[in-house]
Structure formats: C-alpha cells, structure tokens
Amino acid sequence: MADDRYGVPDEEVEIERSRLEMLAEARDPRTRRILDSIGLSLGWRCWEMGAGGGTVSAWLGKRVGPDGAVWSTDIDLQFHRPVLPNVVVEQHDVTSDPVPESAFDLVHTRAVLQHLPERDQVIEKLWNALVPGGWLLVEDGAFASFAEQTLPEPYATVHRAMATGATAEWRDPNFGVRLSGRFRDLGAADIDMTGNVWAMRSGEPGGEWWFLAMERAIPRIVQAGLVTAEEGQTALAQVRAPGFVMMSSLSIAVWGRKPAK
C-alpha cells in the first residue's frame, strides 16, 4: 500500500502483487527471528492482522502445528497465498469489524498501522485480543531519515512527497518511532525492540517494495502538480539505472507481553 488507504485499481493489481512479495521477501527473515526469540510454539493461537500476501501466516501455520491456529485477516484478500487448514483466512477490516477479546497467544502486524488514521484505537484492539501472557509484535516504518537523504532530482521530489506522506494525509510515516511509547502506555511487560536499514537497489526485494510503490504513486504525484509527467518517468529511470543505490527507511519492530494475571 503506498498512497491508497485500501483498494487497488485493476491496472495496478500486478504491480501491487509483486510489491507485496518483495516486501515479504525483504522483511520475513527478521519477523521469523523475532517470533522464534519470543518462544513461538506448537499449539499457539495467532492473529496476523493485515496479512497482505500471507507469507507470515503460512509460516505461522507450520510453526504452531495442527493443534495451533492462525487467524489471517486483511481488508483485501486477493493477494493472499494458499495456506494450511489450521490457518483461517478472512476478509476483515480491523477498524470496524468485531475483534475477539482474550483469544490469542500472539498478535502480529507489519507495515499496516502507519497507514491507518485509527492506529491508536487499533493497537488497543490488538492488545485486548491477547490472552494474559500473550505477545504483541508490531513492525512499522520510520521515514524521517529516509526522506532527508541526499538524492538526485527529479527523483528527490517524488521521493520526498512519498516519504513524508505529502500525498496521503491519513498516513503517519513515523509511527515506528512512536511504537515503544504505545507499548509503555498499554502496560506491556518485557518490551524489546530492534530497527534496521539496508541498501536499496532496483531488481532486489529490498528496493522494489518502494520502487514499485512509486510506480503506482507517480500518476497521483503528477496530478498533484509536484512533478511533470516527464519528470515522473525520469525519476523512475533514475532509480532503475544500473548501479543506483540508496538507503532504506528505518524498519522498527517492538514487542511486549501482556502481564499474566
């Protein structure tokens, strides 16, 4: 998701499919490492919220085994991959559909909350969905340093518009930075966190999650009058040029446990 709150126009479906695959390939290894470190086990009941392509849900399904269960939800299921029978895939809008309380040993969401204006209410719903002793893991971006890096024009203008959320007023591009405070406010125990950046290159998952989002966003950035259509095409050519490399956004993960009663 780049500029749309949700809903992918037909002509952008294949770009979005590739983008979600690239996002997953770039970020799944860290997600899996964190989940292993908190002791994800057979029999756990998990909720993957905003599952996208469903790669984390599929992996969770294998890890929790037939006695465990995974609820894999997204407002848009068209990109979700097939999964084991212990993974229930459901269309669900976290902002308005009912959420069970005290139902899960683990709730995970990645790259979703920063896009939702209701993020503060939603994180409380995720928290309330945990059983005492259950874990919440939230991964989100922090785009301030990403927006400020030195880049060639006209890509720099396109990049800044996207990275600061200038084309989407509902987005909080720095929600990752606010996460640890939210966990503190929730009263989470055993809070831990990590964050990282990486080199972004065309043709690699670490770059394409953003360059494909840009491909989708350029018509809207042109429409907003920030660059001309020609400059938009030049910007795309700049990031696709052989040898071009830039720094990624900061990806922050915070996790904590609901105190056992």
Ligand X SMILES: C[S@@+](CC[C@H](N)C(=O)[O-])C[C@H]1O[C@@H](n2cnc3c(N)ncnc32)[C@H](O)[C@@H]1O
Nearest alpha carbon to residue 131 among 149, 153, 96, 105: 105
- Cis peptide bond upstream of 132, omega within 30: no
Here's the x/- map for ligand X, 109-148, by CB under 6 A: it reads as -xxx--xx--------------------------------
Binding test (CB under 6 A) with ligand X, winner from 14, 67, 90, 93: 93
Binding test (CB under 6 A) with ligand X, winner from 47, 52, 165, 171: 52
Spatial CB neighbours of 37, under 8 Å, sequence gap ≥ 6 = none
Give the nearer residue to ligand X in terms of CB position, either 64 or 122: 122
Give the nearer residue to ligand X in terms of CB position, either 51 or 227: 51
Q: How far is the CB of 104 from ligand X (least distance, A)?
A: 16
Give the nearer residue to ligand X in terms of CB position, either 213 or 227: 213
In terms of C-beta distances under 8 Å and separation of at least 24 residues, what long-range contacts does 200-203 make, across chains too? 200/245, 200/246, 200/247, 200/248, 201/244, 201/245, 202/239, 202/240, 202/241, 202/242, 202/244
Contact call for residue 232 and ligand X (CB under 6 A): no
Strand ranges across the sheet with 87-91? 87-91, 69-74, 45-49, 104-110, 130-142, 250-257, 189-196
Contact call for residue 80 and ligand X (CB under 6 A): no
Q: How far is the CB of 148 from ligand X (least distance, A)?
A: 22
Q: How far is the CB of 52 from ligand X (least distance, A)?
A: 3
**Total residues interacting with ligand X, rule: CB under 6 A:** 22
In terms of C-beta distances under 8 Å and separation of at least 24 residues, what long-range contacts does 115-120 make, across chains too? 115/1, 115/5, 115/170, 115/171, 116/5, 116/170, 117/170, 119/172, 119/175, 120/182
| Burial class of residue 70 in the structure, from the number of CB atoms within 10 Å of its CB (0-12 exposed, 13-18 middle, 19+ buried) | buried
Give the binding range for ligand X (CB under 6 A) out of 72-80, 218-226, 229-237, 241-249: 72-80
Contact call for residue 170 and ligand X (CB under 6 A): no
Here's the x/- map for ligand X, 15-34, by CB under 6 A: it reads as -----x--xx--x-------
Contact call for residue 94 and ligand X (CB under 6 A): yes
Give the nearer residue to ligand X in terms of CB position, either 23 or 168: 23
Instruction: Judge contact between 170 and 115, C-beta under 8 A.
Output: yes
Give the nearer residue to ligand X in terms of CB position, either 112 or 239: 112
Contacts to ligand X by CB under 6 A: 1, 6, 20, 23-24, 27, 50-53, 73-76, 93-95, 110-112, 115-116
